[in-house]
Amino acid sequence: MIRVVLPHHLRTLAHVGSEVELELNGQITQRTILDALEAKYPMLRGTIRDHVTQKRRAFVRFFVCGEDVSHDPADTPLPEAIVTGTEPFFIMGAIAGG
């Protein structure tokens, strides 16, 4: 079970609480998590990464086990703690005022 923590505004859009759970098989990467997240919550398409290029939106960050992995390649395997659900995959809005 993969745990994903969403920022406030995306929780409201998806009508979920702070954390969602995803059933995922195979390699666990940023891309596979986001693919599964958008499949389960299609209203989030385009809010985390661009509709077409699939690039992360500039003001969105990804944190894993206390590390900022926003700039890691999308297909890099994520740590075991994410795979086992011990740690959540954090999607954050950049601290940019407002």
Partner 1 sequence: MSGIRLLVGTRKGAFVLTSDGKREKWKVDGPHFAGWEIYHVKGSPVDPNRLYASQTSAWFGQIIQRSDDGGKTWIQPGTPPGEPTTTPEGMAKGESNKFVYDTSPKTGKPLTTHMWYDGTQHPWEFKRVWHLEPSLTDPNHVYAGVEDAALFESKNGGESWQELAGLRGHGTGPKWQPGAGGMCLHSILLDPKNRQRIFIAISAAGAFRTDDGGKSWKPINQGLHSQYIPDPHAEVGHCVHHIAIHPSRPNTLFMQKHWDVMRSDDAGDSWREVSGNLPSDFGFPIDIHAHEPDTIYVVPIKSDSEHFPPDGKLRVYRSRTGGDEWEELTKGLPQRDCYVNVLRDAMTVDSLDSCGVYFGTTGGQVYASTNAGDSWNPIVRDLPAVLSVEAQTLP
Report the C-alpha dihedral over residues 35, 37, 40, 41, rounded to 10 degrees. Answer: -120
Taking the complex as a whole, the smallest distance from the CB of residue 84 to partner 1 amounts, in Å, to: 27
2, 82 contact by CB (below 8 A): yes
Q: Which stretch binds partner 1 (CB under 8 A): 24-32, 47-55, 69-77, 80-88?
A: 47-55
Under DSSP, is residue 4 helix (H, G, I), strand (E, B) or coil?
strand
Q: Beta strand pairing status for 60-64 and 89-93?
A: antiparallel
Site string for partner 1, 61-90 (x = CB under 8 A): ------------------------------
CB-nearer residue toward partner 1: 51 or 71: 51
Spatial distance between the Cα atoms of 81 and 89, rounded to a whole number of angstroms: 10
At residue 94, the 3 state secondary structure works out as coil
Among residues 5, 35, 72, 93, the one that binds partner 1 under rule CB under 8 A:
93
Binding mask 1-40 for partner 1 (x = CB under 8 A): ------xxxx-xxxx----------------------xx-
